[in-house]
Amino acid sequence: MAAPQQNSIFLLLLSISILLCFVHCHIIDGHDDINLVELELDQKAMKQKLSHFRLYWHDIVGGSSPSSIPILKPATKTGFGFGAVSMIDNPLTLRPELSSKVVGKAQGFYAAASQEEIGLLMAMNFFFTYGKYNGSSITILGRNAVLNDVREMPVIGGSGLFRFARGYAQARTHDFDFKSGNATVEYTIYVLHF
């Protein structure tokens, strides 16, 4: 049973890699030749901005309405859950309390990618649903060593007002409930965009 699920995850990750390649490439006239597109940028029109956010990411793994669900369990028992994958649709709030203003969703997945520690591969979009960034998103893809006080992950792109985005996110665990498995993580994000 695990092999078809692992193949599905592999195909998902392969699809993401191919999509990232096509973001930077252009196929000419339907041929198989791939050429890089070169653009002349109007420096006055393309002024970079630096945006800074502090948001709270709520990973709710239990209860009647979880925001994080396991989609692949490890093939073998390991102390660190190596191979486990969870899909997320986590609320993003302005304050640590889940009852505070929801300004977006963290949508994507995290996977236990380390055999020596709790080290996750994070692949997620922070999709904003409030304020001037409503409908825009930033993409975070990186390593999250959960037990470290501060974890840094790169911002690798974005959409809407965050087109051409690049930067970094720092994660700090604000609260973790050992009984339920629910976590609240503070994300401080610095992102350059046009």
Ramachandran quadrant class, 122 (left: phi over 0; alpha: psi -120 to 50; beta: rest): beta
pLDDT at residue 14, rounded to an integer: 55
**Cross-strand bridge partners of residue 190:** 52, 168
pLDDT at residue 91, rounded to an integer: 98
pLDDT at residue 75, rounded to an integer: 76
CA 33/CA 19 separation, integer angstroms: 16
pLDDT at residue 189, rounded to an integer: 98
* Burial bucket for residue 45 (CB in 10 Å: 0-12, 13-18, 19+): exposed
pLDDT at residue 127, rounded to an integer: 98
Longest CA–CA span in the chain (Å) reads: 57
Residue at 38: amino acid letter: E
* DSSP assignment letter at 161: G
Coil vs helix vs strand at 87: strand
Q: Can you say whether the dihedral through the CA atoms of 69, 61, 86, 104 is positive or negative? A: positive
The token pair at 164 is 């051409």
Q: Return averaged pLDDT per consecutive 10 residues of the chain, 194 residues in all.
A: 60 57 47 56 73 97 94 83 96 97 98 93 98 97 97 97 96 95 97 94
